[in-house]
Amino acid sequence: MSKSALIVEGGAMRGIFASGVLDAFMAEDFQPYDFAIGVSAGASNLVGYLSHSPKRSFQVITTMATDKTFFNPTRFAKGGNLVDVKWLWDESNQRFPFDSERLFSNIPLYAAVTNIDTGNADYYQVKPDTISKIIEATTALPIAYRETPCFSGGCYTDGGVADSIPVKEAYRQGARDITVILSHPLSYEMKPTKYPWLLKRLLSRYPNIAESMAVRASNYNQSLAFIRNPPSDARIRVIAPPEDFAIKRLTMDTTLLNTGYEMGKKAGEEHLAIQNGTYGLHDENCHFCF
């Protein structure tokens, strides 16, 4: 029996868009999926969604991810973390706790992480005893976060290094109706890294991570190609930011973040209207036929 899946891309502060989409879903108790896969900030967003915690991700992004304790270039220049993802996770659970019972009795949630030994993506189901390590690992931006989270016999870094949009993994797990929330507009294609030699130097301890970073653009664009031309037995629905979405990976401007959230909320509401047959398709999105 085929399954339905929800995929949420990461992108650090660009995750504000997905937080708006998922808040729109929660407002209508919309959750028709059999499982979900999140990457980096996408996994954090899904924790809020599957525990039914409206505005949690919005609050975490706008009030905590903009805090100097999380993002600190001066600390980074002195040899510390540019972004402290462990602090963000631990502190957010103190300030904005989620309903863990609801989360873990809900559909399975998987997070993509990148194995530092192989450079490939691994996909772990989030469970009570591993959630902290998995969320830390899937959001552990290489270079910007100097710790290397380890669990289940391996050590890991940001899932977006090896698989930013795990649509192929969802298909492999049996999903034939896949909804993807992207963090870039539909026109986006990732460009190859300009300085692969610098990556190799900065990541000399982890050569396979450097290699994965070097081919990341190619892998990302292959995922986009899979979305645009899915197998004949699959249907992929896409929710993406509008072309004027101005949020970057490390945007800290709360006005821009608020705008990005509202864009996500509107896109989520439009998606729900499409499912209800009350919102017409147009030329821009007809190739993702709903």
Long-range own/partner contacts, residues 95-98 (CB < 8 A, 24 or more apart): 95/59, 95/63, 95/64, 96/53, 96/56, 96/59, 96/60, 98/47, 98/48, 98/51, 98/53, 98/56
How many alpha carbons lie under 13 Å from residue 63 in its C-beta half-sphere?
10
Residue 84 a catalytic site member: no
d(CA 269, CA 212): 36
- Over the range 177-191, which residues count as b (16 or more CB within 10 Å of their CB) and which as e? bbbbbbbbebebeee
Q: Which of 19, 158, 163, 223 is catalytic?
A: 158
Active site residue 158: yes
- Specify whether the CB–CB gap between 65 and 251 falls below 8 A: no
Residues 6+ apart with CB under 8 A from 111: 37, 38, 39, 43, 123, 124, 126, 134, 135, 137, 138, 159
The CA radius of gyration of the chain, in Å to the nearest whole number, is: 18
Pairing of strands 35-39, 109-115: parallel
Question: Which one is catalytic: 40, 44, 53, 164?
Answer: 40
Cα–Cα distance, 11 to 181 (Å, whole number): 11
Whole-angstrom distance, CA of residue 37 vs CA of residue 151? 19
Distances (CA, A) of 260 to 44, 65, 175: 17, 15, 29
CB-CB contact of 77 with 136 (8 Å): no
Active-site amino acid positions: 40, 158
